[in-house]
Amino acid sequence: MAVYAKLGNRLELVCVNGVARRAGVSCGDGLSDACARVPALRTQEDVPAANASLLAALADWCDRYTPLVALSGEDGLLLDITGCSHLFEGEQALLEDCVSRLTSQGFTVRACVADTVGAAWAGARSCQGVIAPGQQREMLAELPLSLLRLESRVVAGLTKVGLKCVGDILDRPRAPLASRFGPQLVRRLDQALGMEGEPISPRLHTPALVAERRFFEPVSRLEDVEAVILGLGVHLKKQLEDRGEGGRAFEVVLFRVDGVVSRLIVGTSGPVREPDFMLRLFKEKLKAAGDDLDVGFGFDLIRLGVLEAQSCTAGQLDLSGSTSDDADLTLLVDRLGARLGLARVSRFLPQDSHVPEQRAALVPAATVREEAVFWPDETLLWDTSAPERPLRLLPQAELVEAIAMVPEGPPLRFRWRRALYEVARSEGPERIAPPWWEGTAPTRDYFRVEDTHGRRFWLFREGLFERETPVPRWFLQGFFS
Amino acid sequence: MNSRKEEIDALRRRLAVLEGRLPPEAQLSLAPASAASKLQEPALPSDQNLTASHDRSSKDEAGAPCLRSAVSPRFCLGVEALDGASAQPGFKLGTMHEFIAPQVRLSGALTGFVAALATLCANRRAGQVLWVLDEAVQREAGMLCAQGFLQFGLDPARLIMVTPRRVEDMLWVLEEGSQCQSLSVVVGEMLGDFKELDLTSTRRLVLRTERSGVPLFFMRHGADATVSAAMTRWCVGSGPTPTATRDRTGAYVPHRALMGAPRWRVTLEKNREGRPSSCDLEWNHATRQFDEIPRLDIENASAGTATDSLPLVSRAGHRSPVPSGTGQVVAFRRVR
């Protein structure tokens, strides 16, 4: 089996497996050469996007060891296991567990535990296991310079002057090295030796609080999963109470036995501690995930995390024993948000704008406070004979073909969505100019229009005739009743 | 002694009535008929109470006559032609009402009528209004305009909009909403006919609303009447057409006058509690009340007599009717 890719103008093998290597092909061979030499060779074109998503899925899976997982290049993962190894009975046990699980999933893994990112990188590529603390200098000394994460140009330059191992440059004066081969060489050396810090950038946001449960036998029934979430929620509740906080966003991570990781995230409209409440939201999420969530052979690790927390004061009970009247409304909003997505449950937030479509902003109902939504009663300012704003607005004002008696006048008839409407009555114009500081959008003249069947529309003419545009265009924006 | 026995008999009778069984003959001696009837009187089943409370129906502050019967609250439109269509005045609040418009382009009229009813209900029941609308409705008929609702009489701060992706989600949201008692009204909107919307699913909705007492107004744009468990079905059309007037040559030309208040031609097609009905309505958004437009005017208007335009136009506001043929009519904001 070999994977080929198009490099320049030529199809070249970029990866071969053990069987193919034993049959005599190797990376860098031309595709046609290799196929001629080994006719039984199965080939497959390289798909970089699939590689990347596989690596991301692996990174998700590695989340079971530590929340700090970073991608390293196209073929590596970096795990910061500081403070995590004792949960797995030591670094050696952790490494063996990780390697054996990945191998059983069919991956070829090379792994190394070391004090620094650079040492671990070099160690993994030279097949080392666990490097004891402080031993990276001795380990690195025997390795070739190419394992120091240097550009190939620098490595070639060093080789030309006879420096082949890391040990060759360890004790050399640093200033000439830096001036001749660039500062990167010294920096990489320092990073590998631990003299310069190198943080890793984790892929995912680290949860504030985490509770997890591992299973010897995988669980596969959804009822069991829900029971586990409830149990973990009880754990988290204690910790949240100690911190005086409540969670605003929760995450359940389900690790399937065969390595697939599913994440369910729910947000709430207020700080939440109650495990029952969390469970009800996650039940909706599990229902919504439905077919996407393939239980397969079951989950062997379930984790509940608090992604966002905010301070939460206990509500005072009133005489009837409930904290507030709208508790079930909050629950409803959160449940709808959990199942449909938070952005699909929204409220109107007034904006300071005269442009009709910008007058109101739709914001997720879970994120807006009741006090923020206040619509000043403008009805007193308006003429009482008829509403001057429509009840419905089209998402985008739609272009209509309209005929007016005079260019500034109301339309006589117009064609919208291929149907002709004869205008019987009209009111207007109401001129709404866009803010002058926001570019050169044309002025709009709005007309309220009723057709011969009594249907009422809100049309506007874009652009002032002869002052802004020679041919004003007409748009239909809304509907009156 | 005799009086004591009578007393015991009377108590036995009373117990029997309370428990709903006939008193065994053996236990009862001859009791005076007057005593028995007097005792039974207050224990009669609540038919009399019901009618009594209906007789006590009064007008509430808004002016619309509203009933608070012991069984379930009802709402009235304040228009005799529609309120009188049922056995009891008005319509049941805690149930599902269906509103259809045959064409999508009538969405303005349909939305307006339902918004007016929702305003009436929201004035009576505290809480938020859950407005559930399909993505297709948003695309074809548009989003709700907050400012328009504000002028119409329904505070947009009380609106919670939900836009589900699928029909099943839509029905689920409606079910969840109609059993949440802290909501004032639940409004659902759909475009066209769906096979998911059958007798079973609507029956589920009706049962939930009846248990919680939250009214559910279900709107369907561009749809035909289908089987449904809703209490009523209303067909909403745009209001009476503007009257035509003759010009000097004697030809009919559209009467160009101001538009005036929102108005609809509403047909109560199905009414489980009574008979169907039909009416032309106008909405006064300042007082938040319906007014009936006399049907006589419209019939005359369709006949095309020249005098008919006057009452309609005078309804349009405080302005005097404008004679036709005087050119373009342009509305200016009234200066206060």
DSSP A40-83: T--EEE--HHHHHHHHHHHHHHHTTT-S-EEEETTTEEEE--TT
CA distances from A259 to A159, A206, B8 (A): 42, 20, 81
Whether A423 and A469 share a structural domain: yes
How confident is residue B243, by pLDDT bands cut at 50, 70 and 90? low
The mean per-residue pLDDT over the stretch A33-55 comes to: 87
Whether A221 and A277 share a structural domain: yes
Asked if residue B63 has pLDDT above 80, the reply is no
Residue B317 gets the label, from left (phi > 0), alpha (psi -120 to 50) or beta, of: left
Cβ-contact B183, B121 below 8 angstroms? no
The mean per-residue pLDDT over the stretch A327-332 comes to: 85
Asked if residue B324 has pLDDT above 70, the reply is no
Query: What is the least distance, in Å, from the CA of A29 to any CA of chain B?
Result: 51
User: Which residue in B151, B261, B283 is closest to A388 by CB distance?
Assistant: B151
Listing from the earlier edge strand, what are the strands of the sheet with A43-45?
A10-16, A2-7, A43-45
What is the model's pLDDT at position B35?
41
User: Which residue in A340, A389, A452 is closest to B147 by CB distance?
Assistant: A389
> Looking at A127, A162, A193, which one is the last position of a domain?
A193
**Residue linked to tokens 């405080």:** B318
Query: What is the least distance, in Å, from the CA of A375 to any CA of chain B?
Result: 6
In-domain check, residue A53: no
In-domain check, residue B311: no
In-domain check, residue A62: no
Structural domain span for residue A425: 392-480
In B, minimum Cα distance to A424 occurs at: B254
The mean per-residue pLDDT over the stretch B202-229 comes to: 92
Alpha-helical (H) ranges within A198-311 are 222-243, 275-289
The full length of chain B comes to: 336
Percent of chain B with pLDDT over 90: 35
Please report, in angstroms and rounded to a whole number, the separation of the first and last CA atoms in chain B.
86
> Looking at A193, A217, A235, which one is the last position of a domain?
A193
d(CA B296, CA A457): 27
Query: What is the least distance, in Å, from the CA of B104 to any CA of chain A?
Result: 11
What is the model's pLDDT at position A295?
83
Return the structure tokens found at A478.
Answer: 């809304």
In-domain check, residue B308: no
In B, minimum Cα distance to A406 occurs at: B328
Q: In sequence order, what E strands does A290-333 have?
A: 299-311
Query: What is the least distance, in Å, from the CA of A429 to any CA of chain B?
Result: 7
User: Which residues of chain A are within 8 Å of residue B254 when distances are taken between CB atoms?
Assistant: 422, 424-425, 452
What sign results for the dihedral spanned by CA atoms A402, A405, A411, A412? negative
Whether B83 and B221 share a structural domain: yes
Give contacts of A 423-462 with B, CB under 8 A: 424-429, 448, 450, 452-457
Is the Cβ of A342 closer than 8 Å to some Cβ of chain B? Answer: no
Asked if residue A319 has pLDDT above 70, the reply is no
Domain count, chain B: 2
User: Which residue in A335, A425, A454 is closest to B256 by CB distance?
Assistant: A425
CB contact under 8 A, B165 and A452: no
Closest CA to A366 of A247, A246, A269: A269
Q: Comparing B39 with A136, which gets the higher pLDDT?
A: A136
User: Which residue in A325, A359, A481 is closest to B109 by CB distance?
Assistant: A481
CB contact under 8 A, A456 and B146: no
The mean per-residue pLDDT over the stretch B161-167 comes to: 92
Asked if residue B87 has pLDDT above 80, the reply is yes
The mean per-residue pLDDT over the stretch A94-110 comes to: 88
Whether B150 and B8 share a structural domain: no
Asked if residue B310 has pLDDT above 70, the reply is no
Whether A234 and A188 share a structural domain: no
Query: What is the least distance, in Å, from the CA of A435 to any CA of chain B?
Result: 19
d(CA B319, CA B297): 19
Is the Cβ of B319 closer than 8 Å to some Cβ of chain A? Answer: yes
- Mean pLDDT, rounded, of chain B: 74
**Residue linked to tokens 């009555």:** A425
d(CA A165, CA A188): 14
Q: How many CB pairs under 8 A join A and B?
A: 223
Whether B86 and B128 share a structural domain: yes
Whether A238 and A296 share a structural domain: yes
The mean per-residue pLDDT over the stretch B54-64 comes to: 38
Is the Cβ of B38 closer than 8 Å to some Cβ of chain A? Answer: no
Domain count, chain A: 4
Percent of chain A with pLDDT over 90: 17
Whether B227 and B162 share a structural domain: yes
Whether A147 and A229 share a structural domain: no
Please report, in angstroms and rounded to a whole number, the separation of the first and last CA atoms in chain A.
69
In-domain check, residue A345: no
Closest CA to B159 of B131, B190, B194, B195: B131
**Domain of B111: which CATH number?**
3.40.50.300
User: Which residue in B139, B172, B265 is closest to A395 by CB distance?
Assistant: B139
Structural domain span for residue B31: 2-44
Listing from the earlier edge strand, what are the strands of the sheet with B263-271?
A360-364, A345-350, B159-162, B128-133, B183-191, B216-221, B96-101, B232-238, B263-271, B277-284, B289-292
Query: What is the least distance, in Å, from the CA of B60 to any CA of chain A?
Result: 23
Whether B272 and B196 share a structural domain: yes
Whether A218 and A329 share a structural domain: yes
d(CA B163, CA A362): 12
CB contact under 8 A, B111 and A391: yes
As for the ipTM of the complex, it is 0.72
In A, minimum Cα distance to B110 occurs at: A481
Which of B171, B221, B259 best probes binding to A when mutated, by most A CB atoms within 10 angstroms? Answer: B259
CB contact under 8 A, B145 and A428: no
CB contact under 8 A, A386 and B262: yes
Closest CA to A307 of A55, A59, A67, A62: A67
Report pLDDT digits (tens) over A226-256.
999 999 999 999 999 888 888 888 999 999 8
d(CA A283, CA A252): 11
What is the model's pLDDT at position A441?
84
**Domain of A12: which CATH number?**
3.40.1170
What is the model's pLDDT at position B248?
55
d(CA B29, CA A52): 96
User: Which residues of chain A are within 8 Å of residue B285 when distances are taken between CB atoms?
Assistant: 379, 384, 387
In-domain check, residue A257: yes
In-domain check, residue B264: yes
What does DSSP assign to residue A215?
E
Whether B144 and B29 share a structural domain: no
Whether A235 and A302 share a structural domain: yes
**Domain of A304: which CATH number?**
3.30.1490.100
User: Which residues of chain B are within 8 Å of residue A365 when distances are taken between CB atoms?
Assistant: 160
Hey, which residues does A311 pair with through a beta bridge?
A245
User: Which residues of chain A are within 8 Å of residue B243 when distances are taken between CB atoms?
Assistant: none
Q: In sequence order, what E strands does A258-406 have?
A: 261-272, 299-311, 345-350, 360-364, 392-404
Q: What is the DSSP annotation of A335-348?
A: HHHHHH-GGGEEEE
d(CA B66, CA B84): 12
- Strands A209-219 and A444-451 turn out to be unpaired
Q: Comparing A371 with B57, which gets the higher pLDDT?
A: A371
User: Which residues of chain B are within 8 Å of residue A392 when distances are taken between CB atoms?
Assistant: 107-108, 111, 141-145, 148
Residues with Cβ within 8 Å of B304's Cβ and at least 6 positions away in sequence, in order, are B244, B252
Asked if residue B174 has pLDDT above 90, the reply is yes
How confident is residue B107, by pLDDT bands cut at 50, 70 and 90? very high
Cα B211 to the center of its chain, rounded Å:
19
